[in-house]
């Protein structure tokens, strides 16, 4: 039953803004229809509220709602990143490694999640091209061919960057690219706090003949760092953990990005989304 709005004192815009932000912090994703019911105002009013909050950089509007934007100001140190969501990263690494076919050449950029992809590679005849120093140290144990590009060492990502690295990458191609990022945003795309890392990751994507696959745990979703790697439209798949919100998963699928949730069969997300659309 529709509530009698005339008998209810409607919240002021500032109060609505605060409540919308609280809900976004709790849920990360909100719907216009749900906010309208909860706050007792029209959907037109809610859309205006979301537009105002988006202009302030506090959220990103989506089809039918909005998602939380988390601004990333500092880059975590490598060892700090290692202990952040370790189980999720291992699961993501395992699921992403299963997407590599025998004999393929792949790009892996620097980062703790791409390191887990590397550790779980098992298909025969794989060649890895990377700027991640840690992978080179473990390559002998993996029993695969690894090409490490040269350059300036960056401790936060345990990787090499700069003109030597970019020049080397311009001379090679790969079948697939697995890209680790600090932020995945529906509007801002893939981002990182480092301009050098953004350049390397973007170049790997450009030099890829086939799929570009992003690997990111759920804490990276809705986060925006200062430097853009690429727009979301350049991504074919994203491999995430089960902590992803259902509505964010739907928004990524609506943006033509295939969502692979670690532990779920590949294609399960699309089947679920299609079934929901039929209803």
* pLDDT, block means (10 residues), the chain with 279 residues: 48 84 82 87 89 82 78 58 72 97 97 95 95 90 90 90 97 98 92 95 98 96 92 97 89 93 70 45
Residue 200 vs residues 7, 102, 115, 123, 190: alpha-carbon distances, Å: 59, 25, 16, 25, 13
Q: Where are the alpha helices (DSSP H) in 40-121?
A: 43-55, 78-82, 86-97, 112-119
Residue intervals of the chain classified under CATH 3.40.50.1360 are 78-275
Q: Where are the beta strands (DSSP E) in the chain?
A: 29-31, 59-62, 65-68, 70-71, 105-108, 127-130, 145-148, 152-154, 159-161, 176-180, 183-185, 189-192, 212-215, 223-224, 227-230, 237-240, 258-261
| φ/ψ (deg, to 5) at 265 | -60, 140
Closest CA to 179 of 108, 131, 120: 108
At 271 the pLDDT is: 44
pLDDT value at residue 245: 86
| CATH fold of the domain at 78-275 | Rossmann fold (3.40.50)
SS3 state of residue 57: coil
Class of the domain covering 5-68: mainly alpha
Please tell me the predicted confidence (pLDDT) of residue 130: 98
- pLDDT, residue 103, reads 96
Judge whether 259 and 238 are in contact, CB under 8 Å: yes
What is the model's pLDDT at position 28? 76
Q: List, by residue range, all CATH 1.10.10.10 domains of the chain.
A: 5-68
- The total of other beta-carbon atoms located within 10 Å of residue 139's CB is 17
What CA–CA distance (Å, rounded) separates 24 from 72?
A: 17
- pLDDT of 209 reads 97
Quick one: pLDDT at residue 266?
Answer: 62
Percent of the chain whose predicted confidence (pLDDT) is above 90: 53
- Please give the angle made by the CA atoms of 99, 103 and 104, to the nearest 5 degrees: 50
């Amino acid at each position: 039953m529709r509530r009698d709005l005339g008998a209810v004192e409607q919240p002021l815009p500032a109060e609505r803004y605060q409540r919308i932000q609280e809900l976004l912090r709790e849920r990360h994703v909100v719907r216009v229809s749900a906010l309208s019911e909860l706050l007792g105002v029209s959907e037109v009013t809610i859309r205006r509220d979301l537009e105002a909050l988006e202009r302030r950089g506090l959220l990103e509007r989506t089809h039918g709602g909005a998602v939380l934007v988390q601004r990333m100001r500092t880059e975590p140190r490598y060892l700090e990143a290692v202990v952040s969501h370790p189980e999720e990263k291992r699961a993501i690494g395992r699921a992403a490694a299963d997407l590599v076919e025998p004999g393929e050449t792949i790009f892996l950029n620097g980062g703790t999640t791409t390191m887990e992809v590397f550790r779980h590679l098992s298909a025969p005849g794989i060649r890895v091209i990377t700027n991640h120093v840690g992978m080179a140290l473990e390559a002998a144990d993996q029993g695969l061919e690894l090409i490490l590009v040269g350059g300036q060492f960056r401790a936060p990502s345990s990787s090499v960057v700069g003109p030597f690295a970019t020049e080397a990458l311009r001379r090679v191609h790969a079948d697939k690219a697995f890209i680790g990022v600090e932020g995945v945003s529906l509007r801002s795309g893939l981002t990182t706090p480092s301009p050098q890392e953004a350049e390397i990751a973007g170049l790997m994507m450009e030099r890829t003949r086939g799929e570009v696959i992003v690997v990111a745990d759920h804490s990276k979703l809705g986060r925006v760092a200062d430097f853009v790697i690429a727009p979301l439209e350049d991504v074919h798949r994203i491999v995430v953990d089960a902590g992803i919100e259902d509505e964010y998963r739907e928004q990524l699928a609506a943006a033509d990005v295939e969502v692979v949730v670690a532990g779920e069969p590949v294609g399960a997300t699309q089947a679920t989304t299609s079934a929901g659309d039929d209803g």
